[in-house]
Amino acid sequence: MPSTHDKEKPWDTDDIDKWKIEEFKPEDNKAGAFIEESSFATLFPKYRETYLRQAWPLITRTLEKQHIACTLDLVEGSMTVKTTRKTYDPAAILNARDLIKLLARSVPVPQAIKILEDGVACDIIKIGNLVRNKERFVKRRQRILGPGGSTLKALELLTGCYILVQGSTVAAMGGYKGLKEVRRVVEGCMDNIHPIYHIKELMIKRELQKDPELVNENWDRFLPQFKKRTLSKRKKPLKITDKSKKTYTPFPPAPEKSKIDLQIESGEYFLSKQSKERAARDEREEKRKEKKEEKKKEREKDFVPPLETSDYKDKKKKRKHEGETKEERKARKEEKRRRKAAEA
């Protein structure tokens, strides 16, 4: 049976962008007004209250164009968006939900409003629970920013996204492909992979996209392969025993004696509570006396008179002939007498 689907389509030309998202107009909503009211609410921190109160008229005017109602509750510290009878775009309420989320995460109003445009999405990456140690978390979060915000600026240029690091979250706005890359970089950074490696990779990919010959090829051979280096080396033991000298015994070594075993051997285990306390007190007293004696000797060192020259000579002589036997001493004296007689 011949195929019927492969027919001539004169309206389908090459200049048509099939991936383009067309703007949703009121006439596209054939069903009319929504049956149910949809609403979303989010809380915001106390420090955002003043800014939101000042910028709320601009937010209200922007959402009114989409026929979305919004309320700011300063008592509860919450923002609410909901559909009205005039709302025609089903996606408008979802964009409004993302808008209040971004505003709560300290994104400026002129930037946050761009989320209402088609083709712009947002991603709020939670990084607070990825690293347990507080100091390590702060250091790794700082890596995303880089010195003077240079790393963040490079990421924004390469991914085409707006990125804001605030507290324990990273808010990103842009295209879907860019957001995917941002999430990969941020989560990698919190997993101790420096953002510079991802930046290098993104720069190479950007250059490869410009080459029409390599557009449909595998790029793995061009991308850098970074090996994970383990910085922690195995600690060498202080005393290395030569096992070759040891004689082999099939029996395992005797287990180390516990504190109770040692107490039983010394007899301390069977002493009463009062006896143990007395023994401990005596031991402390003994140590105190020893320390006292040492300190006394240390103090008395300053008052010891220096040795006289004659005393020093006698002491030196004594030290020289120390350990001599009676016969050796007699022979030495005889030799000395003979030497004197020869000189005379």
Instruction: Using the predicted structure, report yes or no on whether residue 314 has a pLDDT greater than 70.
Output: no
CA–CA separation, 41 and 97 (whole Å): 8
CA 245 to chain centre: 46
Rounded Cα distance between 48 and 113, Å, is 17
Phi/psi for 217 (5° steps) reads: -100, 165
122 forms bridges with which residues in the sheet? 173
**Pairing status of strand 68-73 against strand 169-174:** unpaired
| Residue 313 · residue 321 · CB < 8 Å | no
Distance CA 82, CA 97 (A): 9
Return the structure tokens found at 233: 């080396």
Residue-wise pLDDT tens digits, 117-166: 988 999 999 999 999 999 999 999 999 999 999 999 999 999 999 999 99
* CA 327/CA 64 separation, integer angstroms: 124
- The burial class, CB within 10 Å (0-12 / 13-18 / 19+), for 252 is exposed
Q: Name which of 108, 89, 90 is nearest 99 in CA terms.
A: 108
Per-residue pLDDT reduced to its tens digit, 175-211: 999 999 999 999 999 998 889 988 998 998 888 888 8
Digit-coded pLDDT (tens) for 230-266: 666 667 777 777 767 777 788 888 888 898 898 888 8
Q: Residue 317: what pLDDT? A: 58
Quote the tokens at residue 159. Answer: 């991914």
Q: Which CATH class is domain 25-118?
A: alpha beta
Q: How far apart are CA 99 and CA 81, in angstroms?
A: 9
pTM summary value: 0.60
Sign of the dihedral defined by the CA atoms of residues 274, 277, 282, 285, in that order: negative
Q: Are 173 and 114 in contact (CB under 8 A)?
A: yes
What CATH number is given for 119-226 in this structure?
3.30.1370.10
Q: Which strands, in side-by-side order, build the sheet including 162-166?
A: 121-126, 169-174, 162-166
| CA 300 from centroid of its chain's CA atoms | 56
For CATH 3.30.1370.10, the residue range(s) in the chain are: 25-118, 119-226
Looking at the DSSP bridge assignments, the partners of residue 173 are 122, 162
Tokens of 334: 């005889």
Q: Is 124 helix (H, G, I), strand (E, B) or coil?
A: strand
Mean of pLDDT over the chain: 85
Residue 165 · residue 137 · CB < 8 Å: no
Tokens representing residue 42 in the block: 């989010």
pLDDT at 1: 47
